[in-house]
């Protein structure tokens, strides 16, 4: 029986609010999955690199602890030099387990640098290593946004090592499953698709007029929303250009809410560029930048909005789209990552397979102008979101962990 899992989240702590810097969908994933596993009686210790003088062990609930391991300086450092401290981190995790007499049944690593640490840790403990990618360098490089920096050779090499060394690789979508197989040559018996979830306790339909009042919006504004970190990959320029066309095409005032802060190499530059674009187009009165917002504050934004816009060049899944649907908000987005599972094209939103602002603006206009269509989309959005939950994801992981303990190694089980 699986009692305790060591979760490795080397570069991003689940204690940091998502929405800027290194904290995004993966941060939400790690914490929500741990809490859902706890509900199934599986305890987790989430190991992360120490970046402050915060206590070494923080208990966030009965079955979930966050353990900060000293590896390199106790400050945030660029992702690019983080690789230098992976061995120190792995040694720190093992030392902590020895000191605490902690026994773990499975190691589950998130993102490639955690995976590198996980290979040695899992082998030293004689337990299986399950690895979730979150993003893949080859994929990011093949969908590079204009002006974006390609992922490094060090990352490409590191990912190859992890993909070779993990017992099971988790894909968030069948598309990621294929990418792992075709771009990285991962053997099929080690691949498993598990969709992420959404916390339906907080992301649920609610009173739209109350939400609008809280955000200082008028009842008859046409409200378009973006939620996510700001970096070239997210393609925010397309949404701004579509907004420019909508301002004159709509009979109502358009308000575009942008929630999230700069992230990664080039994030600040991208944010400044988008700000400049908004100003140069005279969209200042229509666009409101909120910066990163606490995760629990987001349902208010989704409920206040008529539509969430997702313009990413690539996504590994796209939690923001799922959260919007769970609040009954239609989505207009690019058909990337999990969006084709979440958004029912023409029923709960639109997937637009071109980066032409006119195409986007056209689809947005239909959602923002036709109340009956909007109501139908909103109902269908709720139905679609009901198919995803963290409890469902945790059940799939739990079954996998149990199965791995039953199967003799090195043959991984993909039940
Ligand atoms: N998010 C947040 N506050 C913000 C912006 C984003 O809590 O200001 C959360 C958002 O709710 C979602 C996650 O960050 O859960 C972003 O995940 P997504 O999969 O959309 O994008 P990723 O960060 O993985 O690229």
Query: Residue by residue, what is the 3-state secondary structure of the chain?
Result: CCCEEEEECCCCCCCCCCCECCECHHHHHHHHHHHHHHHCCCEEEEEEECCCCCCCEEEEECCEEEEEECCCCCCCCCHHHHHHHHHHHHHHHHHHHHHHCCCCCEEEEECHHHHHHHHHHHHHHCCCEEEECCCCHHHHHHCCCCCCCCCCHHHHHHHHHHHHHCCEEEECCHHHHHHHHHCCCCCHHHEEECCCCCCCCCCCCCCHHHHHHHCCCCCCCEEEEEECCECHHHCHHHHHHHHHHHHHHCCCCEEEEEECCECCCCHHHHHHHHHHHHHHCCCCCCEEEEECCCHHHHHHHHHHCCEEEECCCCCCCCHHHHHHHHCCCCEEECCCCCHHHHCCECCCEEECCCCCHHHHHHHHHHHHHCHHHHHHHHHHHHHHHCCCCHHHHHHHHHHHHHHHHHCCCCCCCCC
Ligand 1 centroid–CA 96 distance in Å is 31
Q: What span, in angstroms and rounded, lies between the C-alpha atoms of 390 and 394?
A: 6
**For residue 110, how far is its CA from the centre of ligand 1 (angstroms)?**
16
Q: Which two tokens stand for residue 236?
A: 């925010």
Please identify, by atom number, the ligand 1 atom nearest to the C-alpha of residue 319.
19
Alpha carbons 294 and 289: distance in angstroms, whole number:
15
Please tell me if the CB atom of residue 319 comes closer than 6 angstroms to any atom of ligand 1.
yes
Residue whose CA lies nearest to ligand 1 atom number 5 = 19
CB of residue 320 inside a 6 A radius of ligand 1: yes
Digit-by-digit pLDDT tens for the chain (415 residues) are 999 999 999 999 999 888 878 889 999 999 999 999 999 999 999 999 999 988 899 999 999 999 999 999 999 888 778 999 999 999 999 999 999 988 999 999 999 999 999 999 999 999 999 999 999 999 989 988 877 889 999 999 999 999 999 999 999 999 999 999 999 999 999 999 999 999 999 999 999 999 999 999 999 999 999 999 999 999 999 999 999 999 999 999 999 999 999 988 789 999 999 999 999 999 999 999 999 999 999 999 999 999 999 999 999 999 999 999 999 999 999 999 999 999 999 999 999 999 999 999 999 999 999 999 999 999 999 999 999 999 999 999 999 999 999 876 555 666 5
State the pLDDT at residue 412. 60
Query: What is the rounded distance in angstroms from the CA atom of residue 246 to the CA atom of residue 307?
Result: 13
Ligand 1 in contact with 22 (CB < 6 A)? Answer: no
> Dmax of the chain from CA atoms?
66
Distance 345 CA to ligand 1 centre (A): 22
Q: Is the CB of 295 under 6 A from ligand 1?
A: yes
Structural domains for the chain: 4-197+389-413 (3.40.50.2000), 208-385 (3.40.50.2000)
Compute, in angstroms, the gap from residue 364 CA to the centroid of ligand 1: 22
What local confidence, expressed as pLDDT, does residue 81 receive? 87
Q: How far is the CA of 231 from the centre of ligand 1 (A)?
A: 12
> In a mutational test of the pocket of ligand 1, which residue from 12, 17, 19 has the highest number of ligand atoms less than 8 Å from its CB?
19
How high is the pLDDT of residue 349?
98
* CA angle, 37 then 123 then 121, to 5°: 60
Interval between CA 304 and ligand 1 midpoint (Å): 17
Ligand 1 midpoint to CA 120 (Å): 31
**Is the CB of 262 within 6 Å of ligand 1?**
no
CB-ligand 1 contact for 227 (6 Å cutoff): yes
Q: Which of these, 154, 318, 152, lies nearest to 227 by C-alpha position?
A: 318
Is-contact 18 319, C-beta < 8 A? no
Residue 343 burial (CB count, 10 A): 29
Q: Is any atom of ligand 1 closer than 6 Å to the C-beta of 21?
A: no
Nearest atom of ligand 1 to the alpha carbon of 17: 7
pLDDT at 22 (0 to 100) = 81
Q: Is 373 exposed, middle or buried (0-12, 13-18, 19+ CB in 10 A)?
A: middle
Determine the residue of 22, 25, 30, 289 to mutate for testing ligand 1's pocket, defined as the one with the most ligand atoms within 8 A of the Cβ atom.
25
Ligand 1 centroid distance, CA of 28 (Å): 7
Residue 349 · residue 330 · CB < 8 Å: yes
Q: Whose CA is nearest to atom 4 of ligand 1?
A: 19
> How many C-beta neighbours within 10 Å does residue 244 have?
21
pTM more than 0.85: yes
Residue 408's pLDDT is what?
A: 62
Using the mean position of ligand 1's atoms as its centre, give its distance from the Cα of residue 378 in Å: 21
Tell me how far the alpha carbon of residue 180 lies from the centroid of ligand 1, in angstroms.
Answer: 23
């Amino acid at each position: 029986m699986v009692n305790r899992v060591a979760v490795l989240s080397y570069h991003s702590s689940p204690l940091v609010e998502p929405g800027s810097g290194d904290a995004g969908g993966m941060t939400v994933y790690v914490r929500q999955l741990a809490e859902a596993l706890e509900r199934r009686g599986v305890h987790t210790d989430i190991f992360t690199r120490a970046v402050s003088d915060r206590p070494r062990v923080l208990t966030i609930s009965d079955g979930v602890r966050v353990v900060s391991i000293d590896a390199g300086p106790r400050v945030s450092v660029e992702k690019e030099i983080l690789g230098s401290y992976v061995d120190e981190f792995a040694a720190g995790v093992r030392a902590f387990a020895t000191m605490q007499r902690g026994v773990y049944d499975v190691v589950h690593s998130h993102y490639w640098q955690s995976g590198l640490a996980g290979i040695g840790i899992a082998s030293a403990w004689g337990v299986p290593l399950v690895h979730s990618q979150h993003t893949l360098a080859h994929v990011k490089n093949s969908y590079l946004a204009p002006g974006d920096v390609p992922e490094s050779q060090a990352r490409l090499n590191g990912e190859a090592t992890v993909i070779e060394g993990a017992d099971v690789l988790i894909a968030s979508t069948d598309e990621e499953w294929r990418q792992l197989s075709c771009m990285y040559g991962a053997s099929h018996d080690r691949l498993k698709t598990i969709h992420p979830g959404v916390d339906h306790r907080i992301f649920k339909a609610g009173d739209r007029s109350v939400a609008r009042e809280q955000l200082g919006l008028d009842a008859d504004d046409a409200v378009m929303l973006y939620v996510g970190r700001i970096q070239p990959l997210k393609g925010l320029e397309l949404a701004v250009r579509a907004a420019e066309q909508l301002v004159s095409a709509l009979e109502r005032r358009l308000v575009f809410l942008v929630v999230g802060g700069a992230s990664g190499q080039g994030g600040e530059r991208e944010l400044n560029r988008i700000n400049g674009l908004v100003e140069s187009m005279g969209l200042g009165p229509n666009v409101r930048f909120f910066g990163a917002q606490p995760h629990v504050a987001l349902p208010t934004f989704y409920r206040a909005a008529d539509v969430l816009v997702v313009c990413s060049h690539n996504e590994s899944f796209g939690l923001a789209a799922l959260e919007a649907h769970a609040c009954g908000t239609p989505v207009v987005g690019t058909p990337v990552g999990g969006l084709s599972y979440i958004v029912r094209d023409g029923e709960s939103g639109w997937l637009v397979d071109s980066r032409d602002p006119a195409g986007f603006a056209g689809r947005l206009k239909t959602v923002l102008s036709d109340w009956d269509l909007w109501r139908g989309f909103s109902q269908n959005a709720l139905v679609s979101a009901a198919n995803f939950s963290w409890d469902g994801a945790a059940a799939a992981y739990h079954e996998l962990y149990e199965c791995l303990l039953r199967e003799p190694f090195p043959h991984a089980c993909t039940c």
